[in-house]
């Protein structure tokens, strides 16, 4: 067998093989699982976007390489326009302040490859989307965990980062609204991040994948609105969760043109951009489709059932303002993997153990509100009932 490149050794082992095994077993036995696992919208992409794709795919102009510098022009212009309408940002698409990316995951990963050298520190949230730390490590860097703790509203405490670490740090990832904690950030926090980054010469990457998944009138701010933010960083947006387009693979990175140049440089040697018909349909979405409000109200129904249901079992969870997730602290008797196993085996309910997102995720499990096809929340309610009847919660 050929040996993998050594950099793949820095990918952590999949800790939850046991849960995956139990899931496969339950499915093979024909058990009825209610799946709160992966955060992949279960509702379809809005029909007008699909129709725009069909039309664009019939135009031979979209069948060739996109040889532009920054991405399909109608798309990056639409992205700039969207940022102006949504956040009041002025971003010049003709000057490389907005670039097209093949979904935010691609951009988050390649950013580490563009900026992290062996020996560099990369500041990553913990718990957090694992792509940040895995790619920083594969690029030869050292991920440094910024704990997201309940007592700090799941915001990193920048004053707790030792000055030696801050000095060696090259890149910082942050993500609000946050996966997995569902926390939101204030404009004041973003201003603090921008000034910390300026003082320590750190590039900031704000992952805004969930900026449009919010409830009850909450509107997430942009990092780029903070004073000085555009001097130190970028923000990565995705159409995946906003328009139920996870399979389409499109998003954009916006902000500091120098930082984006590094990302573009690596991308131009790795990919040849997204299918232009997808970029064309995505431009249409940004200009003419106001998110997926019906999907948000479905998530909100499910969120209410999960939060009210767990609270009736002894939790005291707040109603989350944003994201697809409910981050649930556990009774002290369980580790996150044990609790996930108990829910799966006794109630047929699948959740993700918090440890999967980093060591500070221990003591929690994540419920994703993307339960397949459950428009009215009946399956979510059934999951709560099954937990009530089959799982003993000891506080
Ligand atoms: C925090 C976060 N960022 C980025 C992504 C990736 O999204 P995309 O589909 O744009 O690659 C996800 C996906 O779940 C995520 O949770």
The per-residue pLDDT for range 8-30, each reduced to its tens digit, is 998 887 666 777 888 888 889 99
Residue whose CA is closest, atom 6 of ligand 1?
105
d(CA 45, CA 347): 31
In tens, the pLDDT along 325-350 reads 999 999 999 999 999 999 999 999 99
d(CA 95, CA 92): 5
Residue whose CA is closest, atom 5 of ligand 1?
105
Pocket of ligand 1 (CB under 6 A): 39, 103-105, 129, 175, 179, 207, 209, 238, 240, 246, 251
The atom of ligand 1 lying closest to the CA of 38 is 14
Ligand 1: centre distance to CA 1 (Å): 33
Q: Judge contact between 239 and 104, C-beta under 8 A.
A: no
pLDDT given at position 15: 65
Ranges of residues in the chain whose predicted pLDDT is under 70: 14-16
Q: Judge contact between 53 and 277, C-beta under 8 A.
A: yes
Structure tokens that stand for 128 in this block: 């957090």
Q: Which of 106, 112, 179 to mutate to test the pocket of ligand 1 (most atoms within 8 A of CB)?
A: 179
The atom of ligand 1 lying closest to the CA of 129 is 1
pLDDT given at position 1: 84
């Amino acid at each position: 067998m050929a040996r993998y490149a050594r950099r793949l050794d820095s990918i952590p082992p999949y800790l939850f093989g046991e849960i995956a095994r139990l899931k496969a077993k339950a499915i093979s036995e024909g058990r009825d699982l209610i799946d709160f696992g992966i955060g992949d919208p279960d509702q379809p992409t809005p029909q007008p976007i699909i129709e725009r794709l069909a039309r664009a795919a019939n135009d031979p102009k979209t069948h060739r390489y996109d040889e532009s510098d920054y991405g399909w022009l109608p798309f990056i212009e639409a992205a700039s326009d969207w940022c102006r309408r949504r956040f009041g940002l002025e971003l010049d698409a003709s000057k490389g302040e907005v670039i097209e990316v093949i979904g935010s995951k691609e951009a988050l990963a390649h950013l580490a490859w563009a900026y992290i050298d062996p020996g560099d520190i990369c500041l990553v949230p913990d718990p957090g989307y694992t792509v940040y730390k895995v790619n920083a490590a594969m690029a030869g860097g050292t991920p440094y965990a910024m704990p997201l703790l309940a007592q700090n509203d799941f915001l990193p405490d920048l004053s707790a980062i030792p000055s030696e670490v801050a000095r060696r740090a090259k890149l910082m990832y942050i993500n609000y609204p946050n996966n997995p904690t569902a926390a939101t950030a204030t404009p004041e926090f973003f201003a603090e991040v921008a000034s910390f980054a300026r003082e320590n010469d750190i590039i900031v990457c704000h992952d805004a994948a969930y900026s449009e998944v919010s409830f009850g009138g909450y509107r997430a701010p942009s990092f780029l609105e903070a004073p000085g933010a555009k001097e130190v960083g970028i923000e990565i947006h995705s159409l995946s969760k906003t328009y139920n387009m996870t399979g389409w693979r499109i998003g954009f990175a916006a902000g500091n043109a120098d930082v984006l140049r590094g990302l573009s440089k690596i991308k131009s040697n790795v990919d040849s951009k997204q299918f232009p018909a997808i970029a064309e349909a995505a431009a249409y979405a940004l200009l003419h489709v106001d998110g997926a409000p019906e999907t948000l109200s479905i998530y909100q129904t499910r969120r209410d059932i999960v939060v009210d249901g767990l609270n009736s079992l002894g939790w005291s969870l707040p109603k989350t303002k944003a994201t697809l997730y409910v981050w649930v602290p556990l009774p002290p008797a369980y580790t996150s993997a044990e609790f996930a196993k108990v829910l799966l085996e006794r109630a047929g309910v699948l959740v993700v153990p918090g440890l999967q997102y980093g060591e500070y995720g221990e003591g929690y499990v994540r419920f994703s509100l993307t339960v397949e096809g459950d428009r009215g929340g009946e399956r979510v309610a059934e999951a709560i009932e099954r937990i009530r009847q089959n799982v003993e919660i000891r506080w």
